[in-house]
Structure 1
Amino acid sequence: MNVLIVYAHPEPKSLNGSLKDFTVRHLERAGHTVQVSDLYAMNWKASLDANDSRERLNGERFYPSQESKHAFENGLQSEDIAREQDKLKWADAVIFQFPLWWFSMPALMKGWIERVYAYGLAYGVGEHSDARWGERYGEGKFAGKRAMLVVTTGGWESHYSARGINGPIDDLLFPIQHGVLYYPGFDVLPPFVVYRTSRVDDAKYVEVSEALGRRLDALWNDAPIAFRQQNGGAYTIPALTLRDEVAPGQVGFAAHVEARASGAADHATPLQPRETAVMSAA
C-alpha cells in the first residue's frame, strides 16, 4: 500500500521526529511504500494567497474559492500545491502527525490543508439539490482512502478526559477528524495520542513506539470512526440538521457519530484508550 505522512514539527531530534522515522521504517519493513511531506524541512508556504495560481481569474479582487477552482481545473496551480495533490491522489492512507499546539495543529499544517485542498478536489464537488448537498462527509474525491492522526501533547491524559480541564480529546480533534478528513471522504481511524511527552524516557519510548507499531499494523483493518454520512439519510437536506428520530435529545459533536453495538472492539470507538500512551508535547 501507499502511505503519505504529512508531518509538522520544527525539530528533527524531537520525539515527533523520532516517531515519524519509526513510522517510515515500520511501514517499509511491512512492504508498504512511504512518502513524507516534512513541512518544516520543505519550508512550506503556509499562507493561501493570489500567488497560488499562475494565472488569475480576477485581477481586481482575490476570491480564494473562485481562484482555487480556476487554477485546479486549468492546471494553473503553483508547483508545490500540485505536487502535494499528486501525493494525496497516490496515497491509499494518509497519516497526519503533529504536536497539539494551542488546541489544534501547527499553523504550517493548517496552511497545507488550506492550499492543497483545492476547490474541485476536496470541496465543491457533486450535485447540490434538495436530495443531495454535494459529495462530502463520507463521500468525495478521497473516498476509499484511510486517514489517521498521530498527535503529541504536553498535558496529562486526565487533562483531556471527559471532565478534564482541556476538554475531551475527541472533541478537540473533531474539527480535524470530521471537518478536515471525513468531509472530503477519508475513512478516519481513531487517533494515536501521546500525552505528557516531556516524561517520555527510553523505557517509555519503547512502550510508545510498540503501541504505534500495532496501530500501523492495523491501518487497513481497524474500524474507522463511525461518523454519520451526510447523504445517508440521517440529515435533512438542504438544512443539514439531524432528523428528529436520529440521536433524539443528543447535541454537540457526539451526535454526529453513530453509537456502536455493545461489545464492539475498542478500536471502533473514536479513541482507543488502550493504545494511548500516558506521557508530554515534543
Structure 2
Amino acid sequence: MHALIVVSHPLENSLTSSLAKAVAQGIYEENAQNSAEIAMLSQEGFNPVFNADDMAAFLQTAPVPEDVAAEQKRLDKADALVLVFPVYWWSMPGLLKGWIDRVFTNGWAYEDNANGKVIKKLGRLPVHLVGLGGSDMKTFKKHGYEASWNTQLSHGIFDYCGAPVLSNTVLMLPDFGSAQACLQQAVKIGVGIFSRQQ
C-alpha cells in the first residue's frame, strides 16, 4: 500500500515536517511492504494560486495545467492521502488550500453533470488529516472551531468528492506537553493509516 503525505509548512525542519516523517515511520512499521512519499509543497515550489488556466480546466475548455496533472498522477498512484499541516486561523494554511483548489478539479475529483447532480469521483482515495495546533482542545471545542473544521474539511471538501476521511486528528501541542509526545502520536496515526482500510 502506498501513501502520499502532503505537507504544508514553509520550513523543512519544522515540527510539522517531523510529524509527516513520523507518520511515514508508522506506515512502514505497520507493514514493511508499505510505502510513503512525502510531498513538501513549499520546498517543491508548488504554486497555490488558482489562475486563468485553472479556470479553463474547471470549465473543461482546456486540459489541466502540467503542474496540476503531475499532482493528480501522484494521487492516482496513492492508496491513501495524508495531509499534515499547522493550524492557521483555525483552518489549513493557504498553500494547502490552494493545492486542493487547483488539484481537486472538475472532471477528476468530481463532475458536475447536466441535471445538477455531483458525481463523486474519489471514493477510492481514503484521506487522513493531521493538524498541529498551538491552542488546546478545550478552546478548539468551546468556540465551535472543531465543528467548523469538520464541516469545512471533512464534509465540504472531501465528501464533495467522495473521498472518505478515515481519520481527522488535531494535535494540540499544549495538550501533549512536548513535541516528542506529538511525534509519538503521529507514529500511531501512521500505523493506523492502512489498518483502518482493511
Question: In which range does the TM-score fall when normalised by the shorter chain?
Answer: 0.7 to 0.9
Distance 1:215 1:199, change over 3 A: closer
The aligned counterpart of 1:3 is 3
The aligned counterpart of 1:175 is 152
The aligned counterpart of 1:84 is 71
In 2, Cα distance between equivalents of 1:198 and 1:43: 33
The aligned counterpart of 1:98 is 85
Correspondence for 1:70 among 61, 74, 78 = 61
SS state at 1:183 partner: helix
In 2, Cα distance between equivalents of 1:128 and 1:36: 39
In 1, Cα distance between equivalents of 2:121 and 2:75: 10
Structure 1 segment 191-230 matched on structure 2, within 5 A = 191-196=168-173, 200-201=177-178, 205=180, 207-222=181-196
Correspondence for 1:186 among 140, 144, 163 = 163
Question: CA shift at 1:134, angstroms?
Answer: 2.6
In 2, Cα distance between equivalents of 1:170 and 1:189: 17
Give unmatched runs, 5+ long, in structure 2. none
CA contact (8 A) 1:65 1:119 kept: yes
CA contact (8 A) 1:146 1:187 kept: yes
The aligned counterpart of 1:114 is 101
Q: TM-score, normalised by structure 1?
A: 0.62
CA contact (8 A) 1:8 1:97 kept: yes
Question: CA shift at 1:125, angstroms?
Answer: 4.7
In 2, Cα distance between equivalents of 1:12 and 1:198: 24
Distance 1:27 1:185, change over 3 A: same
Cα distance per residue 1:79-107 (max 9 Å; x no partner): 21111000111111000111110121111
Q: TM-score, normalised by structure 2?
A: 0.86
Question: CA shift at 1:117, angstroms?
Answer: 1.3
In 2, Cα distance between equivalents of 1:216 and 1:199: 18
Aligned letter for 1:209? L
In 2, Cα distance between equivalents of 1:141 and 1:123: 5
Report the count of equivalent residues. 195
Structure 1 segment 127-142 matched on structure 2, within 5 A = 128=115, 133-135=117-119, 140-142=120-122
Aligned letter for 1:42? E
In 1, Cα distance between equivalents of 2:70 and 2:173: 35
CA RMSD of aligned residues (A): 2.4
Give unmatched runs, 5+ long, in structure 1. 53-61, 224-282
SS state at 1:124 partner: strand
Question: CA shift at 1:200, angstroms?
Answer: 4.5
The aligned counterpart of 2:41 is 39
CA contact (8 A) 1:7 1:96 kept: yes
CA contact (8 A) 1:49 1:64 kept: no
In 1, Cα distance between equivalents of 2:104 and 2:161: 9
SS state at 2:74 partner: helix
In 1, Cα distance between equivalents of 2:57 and 2:107: 13
CA contact (8 A) 1:154 1:198 kept: no
Question: CA shift at 1:185, angstroms?
Answer: 1.3
CA contact (8 A) 1:152 1:197 kept: no
Is 1:156 aligned to 2:136, yes or no?
A: yes
In 1, Cα distance between equivalents of 2:99 and 2:165: 19
In 2, Cα distance between equivalents of 1:126 and 1:33: 36
In 2, Cα distance between equivalents of 1:149 and 1:64: 27
Aligned letter for 2:153? I
Identify the structure with bigger relative contact order (alpha carbons < 8 Å, sequence gap 6+).
2
Cα distance per residue 1:178-218 (max 9 Å; x no partner): 121121111112312111359753xx51x333333233222
